[in-house]
Amino acid sequence: MDRKLQDTLGARPSDSRPSKSKRDTAAKRIDFGSDGVTDHNILNLPTSDYKLLAAITLLAAIVRLFRIYQPTSVVFDEVHFGGFASKYIKGKFFMDVHPPLAKLLITLSAWLAGFDGEFDFKDIGKDYLEPGVPYVAMRLLPAILGVLTAPLMFLILKVTGCRTATAVMGAVLVTFENALTTQSRFILLDSPLVFCTALTVLSFSCFTNQQEQGPSKAFRGPWWLWLTATGICLGATASVKWVGLFTIAWVGTLTILQLWVLLGDTRTVTLRLWFKHFFARVFCLIIVPIGFYIGIFAIHFLCLVNPGDGDGFMSSEFQATLNHKGMQDVPADVAFGSRISIRHLNTQGGYLHSHNHMYPTGSKQQQITLYPHKDENNVFIVENMTQPLDTNGQEIPGPFAWDNLTADYVEDGATIKLYHVMTHRRIHSHDVRPPITEADWQNEISAYGYEGFAGDANDLFRVEIVPSMSDGKEAKKRLRTIETKFRLIHVMTGCVLFSHKVKLPDWGFEQQEVTCAKGGSLPNSVWYVESNSHNTLPEDTEKVNYRNPGFLGKFWELQKVMWITNAGLVESHAWDSRPPSWPTLRRGINFWGKDHRQVYLLGNPLIWWSSTTAIAIYVIFKGIAVLRWQRSCGDYDDVNFKRFDYEIGTTVLGWALHYFPFYLMARQLFLHHYLPALYFAIIILCQTLDFAAFRFSVRSVTPQPTFGKAFIAVFLALSIVSFVVYSPIVYGNPWTQDACNRVKLFSTWDFDCNTFYTDLSQYTTQYVNTGDDVQSDATATQPQGNPQIVHSPPSGNVTPQPEQPEVVSHEERVEYRDQDGNLLDEEQVAAFKKDGQVSFQTRYETRTRVVNAEGQEIFNGEYAPPHPDVEGQNPETGGRRDEKPVGNRPASAAGEGKSLRHEGHGQPRPASEGKEATAQ
């Protein structure tokens, strides 16, 4: 069995077919253990190693925590992750594509430091000092985890059998890696992610070491300890970011390999014992991580009990579990004459809605939309196709005719009219194209008629219950609130009431389009009744409410929404990059720029490129080794050769699994997604060096360790120099244009050297002092002098002066929108801070009505940002633009409320990971 083990380990990627030459190898072991493996228990290192470990930690702490207070304003995705801390503290539900562990930890540190959540982190560059945000405490959490990755690297290398010198080298390389340092200094998730990944690698390496020592170590204390630790760490990694799934894949692949080797050991492993091994792993590596992951979400739900801007992503059932979002029980049965509001099932667009505004196109009749909030304009009366008769056999006219009759339930197949109470019009459809979707197969839906109008045949809709979606026997037969899901078929044309995630333009208040579709997809054609009342229903009539989805239901729904949202982040981003550019460090990310300083995520080129080279060397080695193996050259007889192939091979597998899956992702990607893979790459570099310098012998002459140590010393010195050279953009320190240009090796490294002063002495102001600076620096000199478009943010915080056209605003902002997309101003945002949910709702209703009264003007002027070409901000294109705007919409309207999303080029911008949550 030993021989087979060697085959499996040695020639893993090709196949496990035994080859003749290997069969001749003298058997050294008779069990599943591996040759050439000794105990590397990290708990039994010599004292000198622990001293080194402490020294390394101290060094890393100095490098990572140096001036952690600067910049004193919001950097890159602190916009999102700082913002999430505020939301946690206030308990307002939000949706983010990342699992909650790291965000919860950040929140914890913020909370311990006394943060009250009264800061919104909305723009890059927004000042921390004046509002007294404990941002240093928040940054300390990722920073400390980042510090710990250095000693972890030391331990990982020790446990894989490297010399202390190599282990020190690995730790120092991690310490002086610019990208890892930059990333761990801010409130971001990648430092916790790398930390958790490193911890997993350490635990699993310790476990592998125990496992490879054979049956004598199996099921002993350390064996169980490291197996359980691996499981917990896997859970933690996956709870920080879904990238942890790649780590799980790595551990999983290697575990399957171990089990396969175990299966081949027929001498010491009985089937019973094999199953013991198997179930130990199932428990520790599957059940424990899943339990951990679910547990983190349980805490997440415990924290977020109030409605927030993430509601719009979730189903009505989910939303009903949030405070103040639940509703009163409503009567179950819908009868003719009931006042109902109808909700769209598949999108979170809201309620079927109409208001006193006309479509500007098509029939020019009254608009029908989906509106996300409760409102009187959502109420319709269900009318029967024919009017009821009174006792004399006379027709009772009007929509209120059923009010005093006993309730007559609406059955499946009933033909109804829907009467809009506020405007006295009925929902109507005809052969006119919808306003936005100009597809042949869709018709317009409008509201048509006037008070006293009896309606016409185009108002008739047939109720068709969808039995598979309806809940309960009765709900499949007749229309019941919430339980029944139904389609509304337009009797005259056969099309079906339909809505999809298409927003109407400003004239429709960015509410969702409703059409009548022939052959629309089923999910988008399904509706249900949410509120229902009827005059003659008794008080004690049967009532229903949303079903509580329970914890697991909520958990699962959130996972699905996260997945869909994540996959939907495909819009390109000014600082994104694709995976092929990462190993060669083609481009970085601009994190922050202000005050003639810059923070730019860029790796240490020396470490980056040499680690990539190490991987390339291994791949070439493997290629040759496999070819030689097929030619029966017997390389694998050599223990060192075999161990080199296996040990580096497993790490390269880890690198590959953390790198190549990104090729499959269509979503926007950034350089920092490479960091876990980089961590593996550094391990590979050190392991390769360790083998080359200390273990491989050429013609049975072992190399002098002195050479290896000298090489390591030189390499480390160069790495540190390289780190120092690029350190100004790590720490946001003063730099000069010359120094910057000198080290800008590639034009694709697009940090902006012109940001810096030409001379260090110009950095006179002490950095910590701000306040006024924030005001002034926005008007500071402009990089490159390119005339760029200025968008003045609406808030008073930073105002670029419009009379200085050369100015580029360094600011940008997160829009606050309500769920139908209207921009919110400062006062409204302030109002939310009080978290008064009832007034929250009312406010919007009022707002809608105000808007209606004002006609088409939905935003009062102050929201609309000055449009460059209209306002004369840009002297070259502005002013002279006196001719009439072309097209079917005024040119100025195009920028209204929207161009805020477009910032000038070359400015930092947060990744849109959380942004989508507020945009929808």
Partner 1 sequence: MAAGNPGLTTGVEQNADVRRRNVPGARKSNGSVAASAVSDDKKNRSSKSQLQSFLAILDEWEFVIAPLIFTALSVFTRMYRIGLSDIVTWDEAHFGKFGSHYIKREFYFDVHPPLGKMLVGLSGYLAGYNGSFEFKSGEKYPEDVNYTFMRLFNSVFGVVCIPLAYYTARELNFRRPTVWLISLMVLFENSYATISRFILLDSMLLCFTFTTTFCWAKFHRLQKESFSPNWFIWLFLTGLSIGCVCSVKMVGLFCTALVGLYTIEDLWNKFGDLKMPKVVLAQHLAARVVCLIIVPILVYMFSFYIHFLILENSGPGDAQMSSLFQANLRGTEVGRDSPLEIALGSKVTLKNMGYGGGLLHSHVQTYPEGSGQQQVTCYHHKDANNDWFIYPNREQPDFSPIDPIDPLKFVGHGDTIRLIHAQTGRNLHSHHVSAPVTKSDNEVSCYGNTTVGDDKDHWTIEVVSDVASKDRSKIRTLTTAFRLRHTSLGCYLRAANVVLPQWGFKQTETSCVKDNRPGDVHAHWNVESHANERLPPGNPGSYKSPFIKDFIHLNVAMMTSNNALVPDPDKQDDLASQFWQWPILHVGLRMCSWDDSVVKYLLLGNPIVYWGSTASLVIFGLLISWYLIRWQRGYRDLNQADIDHIHYSGLYPLLGWVLHYLPFIIMARVTYVHHYYPALYYAILTAGFCLDWLTRAMDSKPRWALYSILYGVVIGLFVLFRAIVFGMEGSNQQWAHLNWLRNWRIV
Asked whether the beta carbons of 641 and 635 are under 8 A apart, the reply is yes
| CB closer to partner 1, 263 vs 716 | 263
State the nearest-atom distance from the C-beta of 504 to partner 1, in Å. Answer: 12
User: What b-and-e string marks burial along 810-820, b requiring 16 or more CB atoms within 10 Å of the CB?
Assistant: bbbbbbbbbbb
State the nearest-atom distance from the C-beta of 525 to partner 1, in Å. Answer: 8
State the nearest-atom distance from the C-beta of 16 to partner 1, in Å. Answer: 8
Using CA atoms, how far residue 121 sits from 170, 227, 427, 813, in Å, is 36, 40, 44, 9
| CB closer to partner 1, 762 vs 786 | 786
| CB closer to partner 1, 13 vs 132 | 13
- Within 13 Å of residue 849, how many CA atoms lie on the same side as its CB? 11
Using CA atoms, how far residue 829 sits from 128, 432, 817, 861, in Å, is 18, 40, 9, 18
Classify the phi-psi angles of 117: left when phi > 0, otherwise alpha if psi is within -120 to 50, otherwise beta: left
User: What's the CA gap between 557 and 693, in Å, rounded?
Assistant: 53
| CB closer to partner 1, 200 vs 442 | 442
User: Which tokens in the block code for residue 305?
Assistant: 């009990």
Which helix (H) or strand (E) segment holds residue 153: the answer is helix 135-159
- Within 13 Å of residue 66, how many CA atoms lie on the same side as its CB? 17
State the nearest-atom distance from the C-beta of 389 to partner 1, in Å. Answer: 39
User: Which tokens in the block code for residue 896?
Assistant: 């209204």
Which helix (H) or strand (E) segment holds residue 31: the answer is none
State the nearest-atom distance from the C-beta of 873 to partner 1, in Å. Answer: 12
User: Which tokens in the block code for residue 473?
Assistant: 């026997």
| CB closer to partner 1, 547 vs 628 | 628
State the nearest-atom distance from the C-beta of 56 to partner 1, in Å. Answer: 40
392 CA to centre of own chain: 66
| CB closer to partner 1, 263 vs 385 | 263
| CB closer to partner 1, 437 vs 533 | 437
| CB closer to partner 1, 84 vs 662 | 662
| CB closer to partner 1, 17 vs 473 | 17
| CB closer to partner 1, 32 vs 715 | 32
Q: Is the dihedral of CA 126, 127, 130, 134 positive or negative?
A: positive
Using CA atoms, how far residue 715 sits from 533, 606, 683, 711, in Å, is 78, 9, 15, 6
**DSSP-assigned states of every residue in 168-233:** HHHHHHHHT-HHHHHHHTSS-SHHHHHHHHHHHHHHHHHHHHHHHT-TTTTTSHHHHHHHHHHHHH
State the nearest-atom distance from the C-beta of 786 to partner 1, in Å. Answer: 6
> Residue 907 carries which side chain, given as an amino acid letter?
Q
| CB closer to partner 1, 45 vs 669 | 669
Q: List Cβ neighbours of 343 (8 Å cut-off, separation of 6 or more).
A: 316, 350, 351, 352, 527, 528, 529, 530
| CB closer to partner 1, 349 vs 904 | 904
| CB closer to partner 1, 289 vs 865 | 865
Asked whether the beta carbons of 127 and 72 are under 8 A apart, the reply is yes
| CB closer to partner 1, 505 vs 794 | 505
Which helix (H) or strand (E) segment holds residue 496: the answer is strand 496-503
**DSSP-assigned states of every residue in 807-859:** -------PPPB-TT--B--HHHHHHHHTT-HHHHHHHHHHHHHHHHHTTT--S
Q: What radius of gyration do the chain's Cα atoms show? A: 33
State the pairing for strand pair 339-344/380-384.
antiparallel
User: What's the CA gap between 442 and 670, in Å, rounded?
Assistant: 40
Angle at 313 between CA 308 and CA 317, to 5 degrees: 85
User: What's the CA gap between 576 and 201, in Å, rounded?
Assistant: 28
Residue identified by tokens 């994104």 is: 576
State the nearest-atom distance from the C-beta of 519 to partner 1, in Å. Answer: 5
Q: What is the dihedral of CA 197, 202, 204, 207, to 10 degrees?
A: -170
User: Which tokens in the block code for residue 781?
Assistant: 């000199």
State the nearest-atom distance from the C-beta of 109 to partner 1, in Å. Answer: 34
State the nearest-atom distance from the C-beta of 305 to partner 1, in Å. Answer: 34
> Residue 590 carries which side chain, given as an amino acid letter?
N
Closest of 287, 387, 292 to residue 337, by C-alpha: 387
Residue identified by tokens 């319709």 is: 380
State the nearest-atom distance from the C-beta of 158 to partner 1, in Å. Answer: 33
Strand partners, 420: 380, 425
User: What's the CA gap between 788 and 806, in Å, rounded?
Assistant: 7
| CB closer to partner 1, 300 vs 867 | 867
| CB closer to partner 1, 267 vs 547 | 267
Asked whether the beta carbons of 745 and 605 are under 8 A apart, the reply is yes
| CB closer to partner 1, 755 vs 788 | 788
State the nearest-atom distance from the C-beta of 121 to partner 1, in Å. Answer: 23
Q: SS3 for 595?
A: coil
State the nearest-atom distance from the C-beta of 880 to partner 1, in Å. Answer: 5
State the nearest-atom distance from the C-beta of 630 to partner 1, in Å. Answer: 4
State the nearest-atom distance from the C-beta of 517 to partner 1, in Å. Answer: 7
Binding site for partner 1 (CB under 8 A): 1, 4, 260, 263-264, 266, 436-439, 441, 498, 500, 505, 517, 519-522, 524, 571-574, 576, 627, 630-632, 786-789, 867-869, 876-877, 880-883, 885-889, 891-895, 898-899, 901-902, 904-905
For residue 71, cis peptide bond before it (omega within 30 degrees of 0): yes
Residue identified by tokens 């006196």 is: 882
| CB closer to partner 1, 57 vs 255 | 255
State the nearest-atom distance from the C-beta of 895 to partner 1, in Å. Answer: 5
State the nearest-atom distance from the C-beta of 903 to partner 1, in Å. Answer: 8
Strand extents, DSSP E, 664-754: none
State the nearest-atom distance from the C-beta of 96 to partner 1, in Å. Answer: 22
User: What's the CA gap between 450 and 398, in Å, rounded?
Assistant: 11
